Structure 1
Amino acid sequence: MLEVLRHIVQEVNSANGLEEALDIIVRRVQSAMGTEVCSIYLREPGGERFIFRATEGLNKDQVGRASLAPGEGLVGTVAEREEPLNLEHAENHPNFRFFPDIGEEPFHAFLGVPIIHQRDVLGVLVVQQAEQRRFDESEEAFLVTMSAQLAAVIAHARITGAVLADITTTAAQAKITGVPGAPGIAIGTAVVISPIADLYAVPHKIVDNRRAELHAFRVALQRVREDIQAVADNLGGQLSREDHALFDVYLGILDDSSIGREVVGLIREGHWAQGALSQVMIEHIRHFERMEHSYLKERAVDVKDLGTRVLAYLQASDKQVQTFPEQTVLVGEELTASSLGEIPRERLAGLISVRGSGNSHVAILARAMGIPTVMGAVDLPYTRLEGREVVIDGYNGTVHLNPRPEVLARFEEVLDSDRELSKDLESLRGEPCITLDGHRLPLWVNTGLMADVTRSLEQGAEGVGLYRTEVPFLLRERFPSEEEQRQIYRNQLEAFAPRPVTMRTLDIGGDKALPYFPIEEDNPFLGWRGIRVTLDHPEIFLAQVRAMLKANAGLGNLRIMLPMICNIPEVDEALDLIHRSHREIVQEGVDAEMPLIGVMVEVPSAVYQARALAKRVDFLSVGSNDLTQYLLAVDRNNARVADLYHALHPAVLQALVQVADAAHAEGKNVGICGELAGDPEGAVLLLAMGYDVLSMNATSLPKVKKALRNVNLAEAKDLLREVLQMEDAAAIHNRLQLFLASHGMEQFIHNPVE
C-alpha cells in the first residue's frame, strides 16, 4: 500500500492543474482499492457548499452541478464532523440524500473521509460499492492516509487554479499564509526571479516579440550542440564506436523533428523561450519517469540535463535585457540578498520568498531597507505569478493574489495610512521617548549590516541593542580573520559613537548555518547553536572577542552579549575567555577598557535562573523571538504553525515579568531585542514591566516612540495587571488594541484584511 500511495502522490504532483489532479486521484484510488466508485467533492472557493468535482463510476455529466451544504447528505456529514463515515447500507443513514441524476442507486457500501489542510476542510473523498458490506479497517486506513497525503497537493492546485483563472471570477481570489519578514503593505506587479538553470522554477510569461524568442532559443540550442560535440571530441579516443554514437542520440533529442519542434511551437503561440522549454522538458521528463523499464526511466536524466543546459544559455542572454515595473514585487523560491541588488531601489515595492525565514539574510536586509516582505509562502505557485498584481501584508505574513476590489481598496487605505503615519512620525525623530507622566525609556535598534546604520540614525536610535555579528560571517565564503572582524566592528562602533553598541557573539546554528561550516542536525533549534558552538571552538570565540575589544579602543561604547545561554557554567566559561582576551590585547599594548557584558535570555532555563545570571554579568537582554518559540514549542519560521506562535501568550508575558524582576533585584539593567519590542502593543506592556531598554528594527522605532509618548506609565501598569489575569493570547491582543484605540492610535492596529 505504501508503494501505491507513493505512486499516486507522485502522479498527482505532476498534474497540470486541479482538474487533472482530481481525475488522477479518483481513477487511481478506485483502481488501488478495487471499488466501483471513487468521487471527490470540494468546497467552493469563498463559500461553504461542497461541489461534486470528479468521479470514476458515477455520472460525469453531473460534475460541477451537484452540491451539498455542511451537514447535508452523507458527504456534508463527513465534512461537518471532520471524520470518516463507513456504512454498509448508505441509504439507511438518517442524513442520506438521494440525487436522481448522479447514478448512485446501485451502490450501498459508502466510505467517505474528509480532506483537511491546515484545519480547513477542503472536501471529501468517497468510495462506494454495490455489495452491502462495511469497508474493512485496512481500506479505511488507506483512504484516510491518501486523503492526508493529498490535502496539501489539492490546496496548492486550488491556489494555482485561482492564479490562472479570469480575475473577474470568484475563483480567482487566493490568500497564501507565510511568515512576516518585514512589516508594511506593498501593492505591485510580480517579477519572478528564477534560480539558475532550474527547469521547475521558470515563470510563465507571454511575449510579443516571438521572433526574438525563437532566435534566442536557436542560439542556445546551437551552443549546447557545440558543448556536447566538444565533449564527444575530447572523449573520442576513450570511447568505442557504439558509445560514441550515444552522443548523436543525445544531440538528436533537441532536433526540430523531436522535442525542439514542440518548444518552437509554444514560442510561436506567444510563450517566451524559457517557459516553452521548461513546459516541454518537464512533460517529457515526467513521461520517462513514469515508465517501468529502467533503461527508459533513466532517459529522464538525459532530457533534464539537456533542458538545463539550454535554459542556462537562455537565462544568460535574457538577463541583459530585463526591465522592472514601477512597483516591482520580487518573487522567488528562495530570494537572496544579492538578488535585491539587481533592482533599482526606487522600483522595489516588496518581496515574497517561498522558502526562508524571518532570520534569512534577505529578511534582515528588507527590514533594514523598509521593504514589506513575506517569507515561507510554501503554498505559493510562484512560477505562475509573472506580471500578476499581488498584495503583500508584511504585518501578518500573507500574500493576496487577484484580491477582490473591496479587499484591494482596504489595502490601499492601509498603505495610504502608513505613508501619512511616516510623515507624521518624522517630527518625532529628534524627540526623546518619554511617557506623558515623565518616564524615560531609551529606544535602541537591532542591526546586522552597514545599510542599517544610516536608517537607524535617521529614525533617532539612541543605541544598538543587538548587533548580529553572524551577518558578516554569513556573507563570506570563509571565517573572517581577526583583523577583518576588527574593521567591521570598528565601523559599527564609530558610526554610533558615543551611543552604546551591543554586539552579540557569533550566533550560528538553528536556521543560520554558515556555508563553510555546515551544521547538519535532525533538530537544529535544540542542537548545536549559539554559545554552544563558540565554546566548543574557543579559537573562533577568542578571535571574535579580541577583534571587538580592539575595535573599541578609544571609543568605549562596546557592550558584549552572549547568546543561547542555558546554564551558569556556560556564562562562567565565556567570562573567563573574555577576560583572557582582554589581558592578551592589553599585553600587546592596546589601550582597551573592559566593556559591559550581558547574556541573552532566550530559553526557559535562563528565565528560571535569571537572578543567578544577573549576579554574574552587567545586564540581561531578552530575545523574545526565541524565548516565545521555546516556551510554546512552536517553530517561529514555520508557516504551518504560525497561528500558534504568539508573543502575547500568557506564559510568555509571565516569563518576561519574571526576568525583569530578577534583573532589578540584582540592581542590573534589563532590555529586550525581539520583535515584541517593536510592536506598539507589546511596547506598552514592556514599559509597565520595567524594561530599561527596548531594541527593535529601525522601521518600528518611530511607531513605538509615538505610542509610548501617548500613554502614562501608571495606566500602562494598570493595563499590565489586567492582562496578566487573562488566559488567552487572543483576548490579550484584543484588549491591547482597545487600549491603543482609546489613546488615538488606531493606525498601529494591523488586523488581517479578509
Structure 2
Amino acid sequence: MLNSLRRIVQEVNTARDLHKALAIIVARVKQAMQTQVCSVYLRDHVGDYVLMATEGLQAEAVGQVRLARGEGLVGRVVVREEPVNLEDAESHPSYQYFPETGEERYSSFLGVPIIHHRQVLGVLVVQQVERRRFDEGDEAFLVTMSAQLAGVIAHAEATGTMVSVGQAPSQAKFSGVSGAPGIAIGEAVVVAPLADLKSVPYRECDDVDAEIDFFQQCLMAVREDIKALGKQLEERLNREERALFDAYLAMLDDASLGGEVIAKIKEGTYAPYAWSEVILEHENTFASMADDYLRERATDVRDLGRRVLAYLQESNQQCKIYPDKTILIGDDLTASMLGEVPAERLAGLVSVQGSSNSHVAILARAMGIPTIMGAQDLPYTRMDGRPLIVDGYKGAVYSNPGPQLLKHYQAIAREEDELVKGLEALNDLPCETLDKYRLPLWVNTGLMADVLRSLERGAEGVGLYRTEVPFLLRDRFPSEEEQRGIYREQLEAFAPHTVTVRTLDIGGDKALPYFPIEEANPFLGWRGIRVTLDHPEIFLAQIRAMIKASVGLDNLRILLPMISGITELEEAKALIYRAYHELLEEGFDVKLPPIGVMIEVPSAVYLARELAARVDFLSVGSNDLTQYLLAVDRNNARVADLYQAFHPAVLRALLQVVQDGHAQGVSVSICGELAGDPGAAIILMAMGYDVLSMNASNLPKVKSVIRAINLEQAEALLADVMPMADAEQIRVRVDQTLREAGVSRVIRPLEEDDRRHTA
C-alpha cells in the first residue's frame, strides 16, 4: 500500500491541473484499494458538494450530483469532519440513492473529508456492491490521499485553474506573517532567481508563432553551448562519458522535449513556463524510477533544464514592465529584487519564505512598504498579473478580490492615509494622559532610514537598536572601527536622547550568510547571548565599538538579549567590564554605560527580581516572550491564530516583570509589537511600564490614544482584564475602552469580509 501511495502522490504532483489530478486519484485509488467505485465531491461557490470526478459511476453524473452540507452520506462526512465507514450503507438513515449516476446500490461505503486550514473542501469516497468492512489500513490510506488532495484543491481554487461548476474563479485568502504593516492594493509581479525551474511564473503568450521562434532560438543557443562544451572536454573524457552530451542534444530535438514544449506554447503558455513544466514532469518521472541508473538521469534532465531556462529568462528579464501599483511576489525575495522596481511603483511585498526578521522585511519596514512573509501555501508562480490585496496588519494576502472585499480594503487604506495626516499634528506634543501622566515613547531601529521617520514623529529615544541589521548587510563580520562608525551615527542622530543598543542577536530566524547556524530547533538553540558568550572575540569587539562610539555623547545603554539565567548575565558583564577597562588603559575618555537585560524567555520572568538587582534596567521583548510562553512560532502562519499577545498568561507575566523590576528600583521598558498596539499601550501604562518602544509608524497612533484618556481609566481597564481567562474577551474589553475614549479609528478594522474569504 505504501508503494502505491508513493506512486500516486508522484503522479498527482506532475498533473497539469486539478481535473487531471482528480482523474489520476480516482483511477489509482480504485485500483489500489480494489473497489468498484472511487469518487471525489468538491464544495462549490454556494457551499454544496458536487461530484467532480469518478471512476465507476457514469461520467455524465459529474457536475450534476450535488448534496448540501449534512445531506446523504457525503454530507454526513462533511458535518462530522471525520471518516464514515459503513459495511451496509443502504440501512443507514443518511443513505441517498441517485439514479442519474447509473450506479448499482452499493452496500459498502468509506468516505473521508478533504480538509485544508479547517475548511472541508470536499469528500473522497470509495464504494463496493458487496458488503465489505474497510479495515484501518484502507481508512488510513484514504485519509492520506485526502490530505494530499487538499493542497491541490486549495492551490487550484486560488489560481483559478478550477472553475467550480461553471462559476468564475473566486477570491482566495492566504496567511503569512506580517513583515511590515499597512494595506497594499495592486497587481502581482512574480520575480524569481534565474534558472530556478520551480519558480517560473505562469503567463500566457500573445503571439504563439513568435514565442515558438524565440524558444527554438534559445534551444539552438544551448545546442551550440553543449557542442562547444563537449569539444572542450573531448580529450579528458572517454567515449561513454562523451555520450552524455549526445544525449543532451537528442533531448533538445523537436521530437523529444522541444516538441512537448512547443505543444504547450500552442495552447497559449509562454515559453519559460512551458519549458519548466515539461522538465519538472520528466525529472519527477526519472526520480521515481526503481532502476538506480535511470533515477540518476533526473539530475541530467534538471541540468539541461536550467541551461535552456537561463536563455529563456534572460531575454524576458530585459523587457520586464512594472505596473503603477506593483506587488512583488517571490519564493524568497531579496533586497536586489526590490531595487529593480521603481520606488514610486512598489506598493507591497509577499515572500513565500522568510520571517519578520528577514533582511527584506527589515528593509520594508524602513521603507514603509506593506509586507507579508512566510506565505507558504501561496501558489506564487500562478499569481503573475493577478489583482492582490496585502494586509500587512493581519499577515493576509487576498487574490482575485471581489468588489465587496476590494471596497472594504480601499476604505481602510483611505482611512489609514487620513489618520496618518491627522496625527501629524501630534508629532511635537508630549505623550501624556488627560490628567498629565507622562509616558515616554521610544522607537525600535535597525537602519539609518528609520532615524528620520522616528525623529519626525516625536520619538524621545531608542528602546531597541538591532545591531544584527548592519551585520546582515555585509558578507563578513564588520570590523570594530566599522561598527563604531555605525553606532556613532545612531547615537549622534538621537542625542541627547537615550539609545539602547542590543548586542548581536543572531540565531533563530536571523542567520548571517557568512556565519550559518544549522539546527533542528533554532529558536531553542544557539542564539542571542549564547552565541556571543561562546565567541568573546565577536562580543568584545562589539562592546568596545559601542563604548568608543559614545565618547562625548554618553547617551548609550547596552542591552543583553536572550538571558535565561544569572550565570549568563555575570559572564556578559565581566566581558563588558573588561572591554571598558581596556579602553581606559588605551587612553580613551569613556564612561561605563548602563547595562540592561532583555526579558524574553520564561525563566527570565521568574528571575526578574534577581536580574534587576544586578543591572541598571530591564527591557521586555514582547514578541519572543509571547512566543516562548505560548509555545507558538510567531513566524509560522499555520499557528498564527494561536499567537495571542493579549493571552492572559502573557499579561500576567508582563505585570510580574514590571512589579519585580520596580521592587529593585530599576526602570522597566517594553519593546515589540505589543508596545505599538494602541489598546495594549493603555494596559502597559497602567501596569507601570516606564517606556514603550515601538515601530515609528505606530508611534502617532499610540500617542493619540494616551492623550485621549486619563490614568484612572487605564487602571480600571487593567483591573477588568487581569482576571479574564480568554484573549478574545480581553481584546473586546480593550476595544470598548478605545471606543469610549473616542479613538476607535486607531483600531485596524476587522469586518466579516476578512473572516469569510479563506482559501
Q: Which residue of 1 aligns with 2:7?
A: 7
Contact 1:163/1:401 (8 A) holds in 2: no
What residue number does 2:350 align with? 352
- 2:425 aligns with 427
Matches within 5 A, 1:379-458: 379-458=377-456
What's the counterpart of residue 726 of structure 1? Answer: 724
Partner of residue 44, structure 2? 44
After TM superposition, give the deviation of residue 355 of structure 1 in Å.
Answer: 1.3
Secondary structure at the residue paired with 1:181? strand
Report the Cα offset of residue 169 of structure 1: 4.3
Q: Describe how 1:369-388 pairs up with structure 2 within 5 A.
A: 369-388=367-386
CA deviation vs aligned residue, 1:182-203 (integer Å, no higher than 9, x gap): 1111100111111221111111
Matched, 1:713 2:716: no
For 2:757, the equivalent position in structure 1 comes to none
- Alignment counterpart, residue 743 of structure 2, candidates 738, 742, 745: 745
Which residue is 1:157 aligned to?
Answer: 156
User: Does residue 317 of structure 2 align to residue 319 of structure 1?
Assistant: yes
Are 1:516 and 2:545 matched, yes or no?
no
1:30 aligned onto 2:30: yes
Equivalent residues in 2 for 1:288-687, closer than 5 Å: 288-687=286-685
Contact 1:216 1:317 in 2 (8 A): no
- Aligned partners of 1:170 and 1:181: how far apart in 2? 32
- Inter-CA distance 469–215: structure 2 relative to 1 (3 Å threshold): farther
* Shift, 1:452, TM fit: 1.4
Local SS of the residue matching 2:416? helix
The reply on whether 1:253 has 2:251 as its aligned counterpart is yes
Any idea what SS the aligned residue of 2:553 has? Answer: coil
Residue in 2 aligned with 1:700? Answer: 698
Residue identity matched to 1:43: R
* Structure 2 CA distance for aligned equivalents of residues 633 and 384 of structure 1: 34
CA distance in 2, matches of 1:546, 1:82: 61
Instruction: State the distance in 2 between where 1:313 and 1:465 align.
Output: 49
Q: Give the Cα–Cα distance (whole angstroms) in 1 for the partners of residues 3 and 669 of structure 2.
A: 54
Give the corresponding residue for 1:67: 66
* Distance 1:314-1:488 versus aligned 2 partners, 3 A rule: farther
What's the secondary structure of 1:427's corresponding residue? helix
Structure 1 CA distance for aligned equivalents of residues 369 and 621 of structure 2: 23
SS class of match (2:100): coil
Q: 1:9 to 1:263 in 2, by over 3 A?
A: closer
**Alignment partners' CA distance in 2, 1:688 and 1:568:** 29
**Which position in structure 2 is the counterpart of 1:97?**
96
Greater Cα shift, 301-310 or 437-446:
301-310
Provide, for residues 401-456 of structure 1, a one-character-per-residue CA deviation record: whole Å limited to 9, x for no partner.
11111111111100110111111111111112111111111111111122212222
In structure 2, give the amino acid aligned to 1:438. Answer: K
**Matched position secondary structure for 2:697:** coil
Q: Report Cα offsets for 1:639-691 as digits up to 9, x if no partner.
A: 11111111010110111111111111111111111101111111111111111
> Does the residue aligned with 2:47 lie in a helix, a strand or coil?
coil
CA 1:460–1:176: 2 relative to 1, 3 Å: same
What is the alpha-carbon distance in structure 2 between the residues aligned to residue 167 and residue 4 of structure 1?
31
Superposed, 1:239-250 pairs within 5 Å as: 239-250=237-248
Structure 1 SS opposite 2:349: strand
Secondary structure in 2 matching 1:419: helix
Aligned pair in 2 of structure 1 residues 445, 231: CA closer, same or farther (>3 Å)? Answer: same
Counterpart of 2:191 (choices 187, 193, 206) is 193
Classify 1:269/1:91 alpha carbon distance in 2 versus 1 (closer, same or farther; 3 Å). closer
SS in 2 for 1:672: strand
- Mapped to 2, the partners of 1:229 and 1:713 lie a distance apart of 80
- Which has the larger displacement, 270-279 or 601-610? 270-279
CA distance in 1, matches of 2:741, 2:530: 45
Change (3 A) 1:170 1:644: farther
How many residue pairs are counted as aligned between the two chains?
752
Aligned partners of 1:714, 1:473: CA distance in 2, in Å?
A: 45
Contact 1:560 1:596 in 2 (8 A): yes
**Native 8 Å contact 1:9 1:150 kept in 2:** no
SS in 1 for 2:99: coil
Q: How far apart in 2 are the matches of 1:167 and 1:316? A: 40
2:563 and 2:108 map into 1 onto residues whose CA distance is: 60
Distance in 1 (CA, whole Å) between partners of 2:49 and 2:209 is 47
1:376 positional shift: 1.3
- How far is the alpha carbon of 1:738 from its aligned partner? 2.0
- Change in 2 beyond 3 A, CA 1:132/1:168: closer
Instruction: Tell me by how many angstroms 1:170 deviates.
Output: 5.4
In 1, the alpha carbon distance for the partners of 2:497 and 2:360 equals 27
Shift of 1:623: 0.6
Q: 2 CA distance for matches of 1:167 and 1:680?
A: 46
1:545 maps to a residue whose letter is I
CA distance in 2, matches of 1:591, 1:210: 74
Question: Which is further off, 256-265 or 345-354?
Answer: 256-265
Query: Contact between 1:167 and 1:402, CA under 8 Å: does it hold in 2?
Result: no
Secondary structure of the residue that 2:9 maps to in structure 1?
helix
SS at match of 1:187: strand
Q: Deviations over 1:671-718 (max 9, x none)?
A: 111101111111111111111111111111111111111111110110
The question of 1:124 aligning with 2:142 is answered: no
Cα 1:313–1:591, aligned 2, differ >3 Å: closer, same or farther? farther
Residue correspondence of structure 1 range 111-190 to structure 2 within 5 A: 111-160=110-159, 162=160, 169=167, 171-190=169-188
1:211 deviates by 7.0
- Give the residue type in structure 1 aligned to 2:455: L
Alpha-carbon distance in structure 2 between the residues aligned to 1:675 and 1:640: 19
Q: Is the 8 A contact 2:158 2:399 kept in 1?
A: no
Residue 327 and residue 165 in structure 1: after superposition, are their counterparts in 2 closer, same or farther (change >3 A)?
farther
Deviations along 1:464-495, whole A, 9 cap, x unmatched?
11111111222222222212211211122122
1:249-301 Cα shifts (integer Å, max 9, x gaps): 31232234433344445556654332232233334334444555544444332
CA distance in 1, matches of 2:398, 2:682: 31
Percent of residue pairs identical: 63
Contact 2:351–2:372 at 8 Å: present in 1 too?
A: yes
> The residue matched to 2:644 in structure 1 has which SS?
coil
- The verdict on how the C-alpha distance between 1:107 and 1:406 changes in structure 2, with shifts beyond 3 A counting, is same
- Give distance in 1, aligned partners of 2:476 and 2:92: 69
* Counterpart residue type for residue 236 of structure 1: E
1: CA distance between counterparts of 2:210 and 2:665?
A: 72
Q: 1:98–1:711: structure 2 CA closer, same or farther, 3 Å change rule?
A: same
Assess if the C-alpha contact under 8 Å between 2:551 and 2:590 holds in 1.
yes
Of stretches 639-648 and 513-522 in structure 1, the one that deviates more from structure 2 is 513-522
**In the superposition, relative to structure 1, how do residues 137 and 48 fare at CA in structure 2: closer, same or farther (>3 Å)?**
same
Change (3 A) 1:166 1:65: closer
1:82 and 2:44 equivalent? no
Contact 2:44 / 2:165 at 8 angstroms: preserved in 1?
no
5+ long unaligned stretches in structure 1: none
**1:147 partner amino acid:** S
**Cα contact 1:163–1:384 (8 A) shared by 2:** no
Amino acid at match of 2:628: Y
